Amino acid sequence: MTAAVRVKRKTSLRTRRQIFIGILYILPSFVLMMTFNVIPIFLSAFYSFTKYNMAAPPEWIGLENYARLFSNRVLTESLSNTVQYVLITVPAQTVLSLLIAVFIAEHMKGRYGSLMRSVIFIPVIVSLIASATVWNIMYQPKGGLINQLLEFFGAQPVNFLGKKASALPSVAVVAIWKSTGYYMVIYYAGVMNVPSDVREAAIVDGATPVQRFFHITLPILRPITYMIVTLGIIGSFQVFDLVYKMTGGGPGRSTYTVAYVIYTFAFQDKNYGYASAVAICLLIVILLIHLIQTLLFKEKDA
Amino acid sequence: MKKKTFSPWVAAGVLLITLFAVLCLLPLIYMVAVSFTDSESLYIKVSDLRPSLYNYWYAIVKRDFGTALKNSVITVVGSCLLVDIVASMAAYGFEKKPIPGKETLFQGYLATMMIPGQVVLIPMFVMINRAGLTNTYAALILPMVGAFGIFLMRQFMVAVPNELLEAAEMDGCGEARRFVTIVLPLVQPALITLTIFTFNAAWNNFLWPLIINTRSEMRVLPVTMSTLSSNSTTNYGMVMAGATLTFLFPFVLYIFLQKQFVEGIALGGVKG
């Protein structure tokens, strides 16, 4: 009896020691995650109800920031621009990366295919600011590479970033250029995970490549597509670097995006409360999109 | 068996993919080419190309790219070290230690990945200001720890056999020594992947360094890059030299560690 009790106490002492050591392992991450990822969310929500310029303590003004936001057009305009931007980039980069990955996996298994994959990935590692700089120069109305090509084919030069209609799509092109390789790598890994006997069975059954794509490959890749679309929407919704460097929100307010508006309200106007209200709106929109997407995908799976 | 029938569709596909690959490279080839010219206009002829590093010298010496390069390297090295240490410790704690409520906490960590960066930006800015840490390397390095690294490392911690750790404990190998000499070597591939990810994130980070380190001697490469205007009155060669410098370091890393780059992304993607 006493021996058994002693053994039990010993193990529980050991377990307690293990718990203590475990907490020590997690502690640094806990402190940093709380400080930079969790507490700021609540602080943002708090600031959004205040008038705050950092010189004086935050002054509680209730829903005034939100009322102001919904009464002027900046928020709706920037939201609409951001949604347009998402609607250009996400479908384009998703479809492109899917088609390229599937085609390379099925028809370009050799050295050349792997070279193509390496090359298509390279834009991923270019920083957004460097990308924006290079594309800015390529978009130049006078002598930019793209306009030189247009002139060569006898077309009129286009002021891509200077026209309201073309500015946002021109920025989106850079994003698509930069991210297709990233998603292609994820899709490629997914296609390679498809058991080869599944595909071979389909070939034996006489399925055409198009049938195989729509009835086998695409359904198998569904979870990956879900993830890529989610990542794409979240990433595109936060577009900042490209807009900052390429258009500065212009011409007019045609490329004002939500992230850019937050930046200008906070760090140019020093209106931290008002900017926080925009940030909270962004958070709500992203959570809503996530919720809708989860519901849609769950329903189809059932 | 291996013999393939020629299909015009496949040939067209190969051609299209080749074309897309060329489009991916073209802006970068253009960037490097312009960085070696001394033309005032953009109508560059082949005869304008100079094998001279003048534009690079100008960017580094006259436009503070040297300072920015130094700041970026310090920030990146510090970020990689911090993230590697904190993430592998946390992952080990989550996977191998019997902490009550750890799965709930882990789910909480993962949930933070959904939060857009702009939502935490202003409070972070206020905190760093209050702490007097603006214009320091710490301000750039400390926020680099995130849930992704911990998630990634935990995927690999699962494969560390418990028997091995128990056997080492029997042999009198202490807690810290077990972690450093047994666990870390076993998860080395994941550490390399995480280092690459952190390198890229820290190297390309723009908005946060832009607002928090405003003194010119504390700027990192993308911020210095952004101060060079790219309008028609600019010296394009120098701007492109700056862009090439910014691109060069990640590119060299990619050349040497291509497999880890791609596998890391695929892993994070397929499993997440």
Assign residue A216 the CATH number of its domain. Answer: 1.10.3720.10
- B24, B105, B125 member nearest A119 (Cβ): B24
- A23, A39, A266 member nearest B122 (Cβ): A266
What is the per-residue pLDDT across B66-86, written as a single tens digit (0 to 9) for each? 999 999 999 999 999 999 999
Same-domain status, A164 and A293: yes
User: Considering only CB atoms, which chain A residues are within 8 Å of B233?
Assistant: none
Same-domain status, A179 and A246: yes
Average pLDDT over residues B214-226: 92
Asked whether residue A244 is domain-assigned, the answer is yes
Least confident piece of the model among A34-38, B22-26, B234-238 = B234-238
List the beta bridge partners of residue A59.
A51
Instruction: Answer yes or no: do A44 and B99 touch at CB < 8 A.
Output: no
Same-domain status, A115 and A13: no
Instruction: Answer yes or no: do A234 and B105 touch at CB < 8 A.
Output: no
Asked whether residue A236 is domain-assigned, the answer is yes
Give the pLDDT confidence score for residue B1 in this predicted structure.
Answer: 39
Q: Which of A137, A177, A192, A221 to mutate to test the interface with B (most CBs of B within 10 A)?
A: A137
What is the per-residue pLDDT across B135-165, written as a single tens digit (0 to 9) for each? 999 999 999 999 999 999 998 899 899 889 8
- Tell me how close the Cα of B61 comes to any Cα of chain A, in angstroms: 19
Asked whether residue A62 is domain-assigned, the answer is no
Give the pLDDT confidence score for residue B270 in this predicted structure.
Answer: 47
ipTM of the complex: 0.88
Three-state SS at B5 = coil
Is it the case that residue B95 has pLDDT exceeding 80?
yes
Number of domains in chain A: 2
Domain range enclosing A82? 73-301
Same-domain status, A89 and A18: no
What is the per-residue pLDDT across A134-159, written as a single tens digit (0 to 9) for each? 999 899 888 788 888 888 888 888 88
What is the average pLDDT score of chain A? 88
Q: Which CATH class is domain B53-271?
A: mainly alpha
Same-domain status, A29 and A99: no
Same-domain status, A33 and A92: no
Q: Quick one: pLDDT band at residue A4, thresholds 50, 70, 90?
A: low
Asked whether residue A234 is domain-assigned, the answer is yes
Same-domain status, A17 and A81: no
What CA–CA distance (Å, rounded) separates B78 from B138? 9
Asked whether residue A28 is domain-assigned, the answer is yes
pTM: 0.89
Instruction: Answer yes or no: do B126 and A43 touch at CB < 8 A.
Output: yes
Same-domain status, A28 and A129: no
Same-domain status, A93 and A187: yes
Average pLDDT over residues B11-23: 93
User: To the nearest 5 percent, what fractions of chain B are helix, strand and coil?
Assistant: 75, 0, 25
Instruction: Answer yes or no: do A47 and B122 touch at CB < 8 A.
Output: yes
Same-domain status, A155 and A237: yes
Give the pLDDT confidence score for residue B266 in this predicted structure.
Answer: 76
Closest CA to A24 of B98, B89, B96, B187: B89
All structural domains of chain B with their residue ranges: 53-271
- Tell me how close the Cα of B34 comes to any Cα of chain A, in angstroms: 10
B180 φ, ψ to 5°?
Answer: -75, -40
* DSSP 8-state symbol, A50: E
> Which chain B residue shows the shortest CA-CA distance from A271?
B122
Give the pLDDT confidence score for residue A226 in this predicted structure.
Answer: 87
Same-domain status, A192 and A297: yes
What is the per-residue pLDDT across A169-202, written as a single tens digit (0 to 9) for each? 999 999 999 999 999 999 998 888 877 777 777 7
Same-domain status, A21 and A93: no
User: Considering only CB atoms, which chain A residues are within 8 Å of B90?
Assistant: 25-26, 28-30
Q: Quick one: pLDDT band at residue B3, thresholds 50, 70, 90?
A: very low
Q: Which of A20, A47, A102, A133 to mutate to test the interface with B (most CBs of B within 10 A)?
A: A133
